[in-house]
Amino acid sequence: MTKSPTILIVPGLRDHAAGHWQTLLAQRLPKVARVAPMGREDLHCARRVAAIETVAQSIDGPLIAVAHSGGCIMLAHWLAGTSRRVTAALMATPPDFESPMPEGFPTIAALQAGGWLPVPRQPLPCPTLVAASRNDPLGAYTRVVVLARDWGAKLVDLGAVGHLNPASGFGDWPMADGLIAELHNMAGQPAAH
C-alpha cells in the first residue's frame, strides 16, 4: 500500500501569518512539514533552498510541495538541484522577480545579489499546478502564464485575487484542498484526506 504524501509548505519571503491560507492549510491537513520562514530581510536564495532541502530530506515517503509567492521561485531553484523525488507541486501566485516590483519589495538588484536571478525556466521534474491571479501586484498574469509554460505546469486561472494573501482579502483558501487533490490524481497518489 502506498503511503499518503506529506504536504511540504514553502512560504514566501515574509514570515508566516496566523490568517494566511498556508498557515490555515497546515492546521487542517494530517501530514504536514513546513519550511521555517527566514524573514523578509534575508534575501539569500541558497540559504532558503538549503532549508527546503533539509526539511524535504527528513520526510519519509512521497511529498507534495505547496509554495506561495517567493516560495514558488525558491521551490523552482530547489527542484532544479535536488535529488529528492517530489510527487507534485502547487505554486500559488508566483511573483515576477525579473520585473520591478512595487515599493517595499526587493529590487531586481537585491534579488540578483541574493542569487534569485535568473529564475529557473526549465521544466520542473514533477506534475505542477501554477495558480495565477489576474491582478497580482507582484506578477503580471501574462508573465506568470509564460513562467508556467516554461516550467511545464498546468495553469489555473484564479481570476482577480490580488496576491492571494491577507492584504488582498484572503485568509483561508479552500480551493487549495481541491488543487492538492488534483495533484494527487495527476501523480497517481492516494489523497491525504
Confidence of residue 92 (pLDDT cuts 50, 70, 90): very high
The domain segmentation of the chain, as residue ranges, is 6-187
Segment 146-151 long-range contacts (CB within 8 Å, at least 24 positions apart):
147/94, 147/96, 147/119, 147/121, 148/91, 150/121, 150/122, 150/123, 151/76, 151/91, 151/120, 151/121, 151/122, 151/123, 151/124
Lowest-pLDDT range of 41-45, 81-85, 143-147: 41-45
pTM: 0.93
Task: Please write the tens of the pLDDT for every residue from 113-171.
Answer: 999 999 999 999 999 999 999 999 999 999 999 999 999 999 999 999 999 988 888 88
The pLDDT of residue 2 is: 58
Confidence of residue 191 (pLDDT cuts 50, 70, 90): very low
Average pLDDT over residues 2-13: 89
Please name the fold of domain 6-187: Rossmann fold (3.40.50)
Average per-residue pLDDT for the chain: 91
Q: Residue 13: what pLDDT?
A: 87
Burial of 22 (0-12, 13-18, 19+ CB in 10 A): buried
